[in-house]
Amino acid sequence: MYAVWKLCLANLRKRKIQNFLIALLILLSTLLLSTSVILISNTDNLFTGMHEKTNGSHDILRMDSGLQDPEQIREFWSDEQGVQVSKLLEYRTLSGVSYNGSDIPNLLLFMMDTPAPPLGVDELLTAQGIRSDTPEKGTVWIPTSLAYSHQIAVGDTLSFKTDSGTVDLNVSAVVVDIPYGGPFSTESRIWMNDLDYQALPVAEGAVPSYMMGIRYDNYADRQSDWNAFEQALGSPYLETVMSFDEISSFYLILNKVIGFVMIFLAVVMMGIAFFTIGFTIADAILTQYRTIGVLKSLGLTSRRTIGVYLIQYAFLSVTAIVPGLILSRFLSRMIVDSTLAYLKTDTDPLPLSGINAAAWTGVLILVLVLLCVWAYGRRARRIAPVQAIRYGMSESDSRRESRGIGTAGRSLIGFGSLPAVLVVGTRNILKNAKTSTLMMILTMVTSAVLVLGYVVLNSVINIQQTSPQWGYDDSNITVRVFNPSTFSKSEFEDRLSADSRIKNVSWHNGVTGVIEAADTPVAGEFAYPLSIVISIVEGSYNDIGFAVLEGQNPVNKNEIAIGVNVAQSLNKNLGDTVELYVEGQQHTLTVTGIYQSVANSSNSVRILAATVQENNPAFSATDVAYINLNNPAQSDAVVAELNGSYADYLSAATQKTLLDSVFLEAASTLILPMCFMGLLFIAVTLIIIYSICLINIRKEIKTYGIYKSVGMSSGRIRQSVALGISVLATVGALLGILLGVYALPMILENILSDYGMVDLPLVINRGGVVLIACLSIPAAAAGSWLSSRIIRKTSPRILVVE
């Protein structure tokens, strides 16, 4: 055993640089994999924990159309066993708010009449400020999503636009409001004092609006409870319902994307690490072939020879895995705090779990490393002491090496016609085919990771170019009417029609409806009716720019386009019919199109205003106007004029402003992990190529010594090696572009399919993609150049004598 320890220590001392690089590679693999495990674990755990802490709802019922009796609905759910319900929360809707003199775009406000606690379901947690039972007069509580995304603090003043003017209220607290406080939210609940709420203007004849949360003791009972509810109603529930999947989706989506991508990349990195370890062990066995043969002749068994490598790499693994696990805690904390910021409070930071799972990840990596070492170390069992002492290798390898490269090979390659620098670089690649393949694969993966991160970030930042494919409009200007009771639609249209800059105008209303799904052949998954968001357009979907994946948008009153998740839930295709309830009226419509939309996770449909006007001729879409200009460059000027002329009725914004209000937040959250993974793979590329080239150069050091003896300088030899590796890296980078643009996005599509995105819209900047992909080339060249420093220190005289 003493001999095994001595040999192990000798290997650690003799190959300091290689051992350090392998340990660093194991550390980075551990860091990446354990971070992804902690991230995925905490994504579910933190949200679930906060949902439990606030007694969060599984369904939010909104009743704002007067189609069904709110008191009757609450009475049913209050009497239902295994169900908790909140108080009936009265609210009014506003669509205009400004902060520091600037409008906050793309935000629908539910102004809540705050009851005395407890609410029963969806209790509010204070993130900032001091909360009382209800807000003080003249103050409001706002959700973290609104406060953090617009840097609004306690004590700031918000100006709310109402039918009778502007109402200024101070922020007295920022609260964690789970249902309406998620990332990218375009809806916020503003909690008001009762006196302030009663002072809000109410349109004549307006129906009071109510909201109620439902929590199931056993979520699996939801379907049976819902069926009993609709039987008691005698009809489908015809108003708005927001399910737990919708509530949780945007809390989880970013971390799931980051986590799954990190796991994929960690597995790739581990594969590269194991290959590198195996290559290093194989090289060590060849280098120490004669020594191992001598030791075997003195009685050292093959088992103990393998034990030398097992102990060596077990030591390296432990010294690398432990700091990797420690660092993963800090990295995952940074990412979690960024992606789940809306769940944080000043007094109660987000607890980080999943440490045990990360520890087991470290154990798994250690076991895999030892298995890899054992598999490659077994090659030492084949060493015959006599052949090792005589040849320094096996007899068959000795014969093969003595034959060298035949004349046929030389004539085939035609090295004689190439410059010496190219010959040396090409020979280095061809003679070490396995390691050359590894380096090419490594640069390909690195380039693919860099390209994927760049393409995803570029696509999110420049979403305006592909907004129809994300389910948004493609109009130049969006106008949201926040004072419909006194707003004159006809006068507004007359002004627009007289403006030569205006190309076309279409109007849009968003309401909630129900698709009857009792006859769906899908195995009971959605046996109850689907509550969906209905887009109603007065005008043309094509003018607005809404896109479809299949078919076309509706152009007749008996047609409908449905989201991909609705199509999947109902098992509907083009040409099928659906039963849709709008404003309590049933319509039988033919499916003409299927589309994807990240908003509402594609749980939505599109119809024309003419469909609703069949039963309600007075219906007119007045919520939102989509305006296109003959010259889009004039958008800012038109927006300024509309906001100035109709300040009391509407809020106008360019499409870019509205999209940036949502997606720049996603981009800023993705930048940190994407940059980290890119830099990590660049570092790994440099490290591994340095290690491989160092091994190859040491094997060929005599040949390079002969080159120096015939007049080739150390600098030219090093340039030759670096040039060959650079060419190899260039090939890998080109393949990485294809992988990063076409293959890796499929991983994201699989993850995003649950969120209504089955075809990821990418904005590909070819110049940027090529530039980013080429970052792996200087990393590879630097690794080969640094490793070739030993050529400069080598004496040609000694090498020629040997």
Could you read off the pLDDT of 50-102 as tens digits, one per residue? 888 889 898 888 887 777 788 888 899 998 888 999 999 999 888 778 888 78
Q: Residue 405's pLDDT is what?
A: 45
What is the DSSP code (8-state) at residue 237?
Answer: -
- Overall average pLDDT of the 31-37 stretch: 82
- Overall average pLDDT of the 585-607 stretch: 89
CB atoms within 10 A of CB 478: 24
Give the range with max mean pLDDT: 191-205, 435-449, 544-558: 544-558
- The three-state secondary structure class of 625 is strand
Q: Residue 527's pLDDT is what?
A: 47
Q: Residue 412's pLDDT is what?
A: 41
CB atoms within 10 A of CB 419: 9
Query: Whole-angstrom Cα distance, residue 284 to residue 287?
Result: 5
Question: Do you know the residue count of the chain?
Answer: 802
The number of helix segments (H) and strand segments (E) in the chain equals: 28, 23
Q: How many alpha carbons fall within 13 Å on the CB side of residue 724? A: 29
651 Cβ neighbours under 8 A, 6+ residues apart = 95, 96, 103, 105, 161, 479, 480, 482, 643
- Contact indicator for 16, 243 with CB cutoff of 8 Å: no
Q: Residue 33: pLDDT above 60?
A: yes
Looking at the chain, the whole-number percentage of residues with pLDDT higher than 70 is 86
Q: Residue 511: pLDDT above 90?
A: no
Q: Residue 797's pLDDT is what?
A: 61
Q: Residue 1's pLDDT is what?
A: 57
Say what the pTM is.
Answer: 0.76
Q: Residue 531: pLDDT above 80?
A: no
Query: Whole-angstrom Cα distance, residue 439 to residue 435?
Result: 6
Query: Lowest-confidence range among 133-147, 312-326, 582-596, 663-677?
Result: 663-677
What is the DSSP code (8-state) at residue 119?
Answer: -
Q: How many alpha carbons fall within 13 Å on the CB side of residue 310? A: 16
Token code pair at residue 759: 């075809």
Higher pLDDT, 199 or 288: 199
Looking at the chain, the whole-number percentage of residues with pLDDT higher than 90 is 16
Q: In degrees to the nearest 10, what's the CA dihedral of 710, 716, 721, 727? A: -130
Token code pair at residue 444: 């390909």
Query: Lowest-confidence range among 211-220, 585-594, 752-761?
Result: 752-761
Higher pLDDT, 41 or 327: 327
Higher pLDDT, 377 or 239: 239
Higher pLDDT, 402 or 291: 291
- Contact indicator for 428, 692 with CB cutoff of 8 Å: no
Q: Residue 654: pLDDT above 70?
A: yes
Query: Whole-angstrom Cα distance, residue 346 to residue 450?
Result: 36
Query: Whole-angstrom Cα distance, residue 56 to residue 49?
Result: 10
Name the residue among 433, 415, 435 with its Cα closest to residue 780: 435
- Overall average pLDDT of the 319-342 stretch: 83
767 Cβ neighbours under 8 A, 6+ residues apart = none
Query: Whole-angstrom Cα distance, residue 142 to residue 128?
Result: 10
Q: Which residue type sits at 629?
A: L
Q: Residue 699's pLDDT is what?
A: 76
Q: Residue 677: pLDDT above 70?
A: yes
Mean pLDDT in the chain?
A: 81
β-strand 59-63 against 477-481: which pairing, if any? unpaired
- Overall average pLDDT of the 295-303 stretch: 62
Query: Lowest-confidence range among 405-409, 432-436, 688-692?
Result: 405-409
- Overall average pLDDT of the 109-119 stretch: 89
- Contact indicator for 574, 551 with CB cutoff of 8 Å: yes
Q: Residue 594's pLDDT is what?
A: 95
For residue 390, name the pLDDT band (cuts at 50, 70, 90): low
Q: Residue 409: pLDDT above 50?
A: no
Q: Residue 5's pLDDT is what?
A: 64
CA distance to 497, 498, 618, per residue, from 494 (Å): 5, 6, 20
Q: Output phi, psi for 617, to 5 deg.
A: -60, -25
Query: Whole-angstrom Cα distance, residue 743 to residue 750?
Result: 12
Q: Residue 292's pLDDT is what?
A: 63
Query: Whole-angstrom Cα distance, residue 571 to residue 532?
Result: 16
Q: Residue 802: pLDDT above 60?
A: no
Name the residue among 588, 593, 501 with its Cα closest to residue 551: 593
Q: Residue 408: pLDDT above 50?
A: no
- Contact indicator for 225, 83 with CB cutoff of 8 Å: yes
Q: Residue 754's pLDDT is what?
A: 77
Query: Lowest-confidence range among 378-392, 400-414, 476-490, 732-746?
Result: 400-414
Query: Lowest-confidence range among 46-60, 302-316, 710-724?
Result: 302-316
Name the residue among 77, 111, 109 with its Cα closest to residue 95: 109
Query: Whole-angstrom Cα distance, residue 234 to residue 538?
Result: 32
Q: Residue 329's pLDDT is what?
A: 85
For residue 269, name the pLDDT band (cuts at 50, 70, 90): confident
Q: Residue 501's pLDDT is what?
A: 92
Q: How many alpha carbons fall within 13 Å on the CB side of residue 559? A: 15
Give the range with max mean pLDDT: 403-407, 566-570, 694-698: 566-570
β-strand 187-192 against 108-113: which pairing, if any? parallel
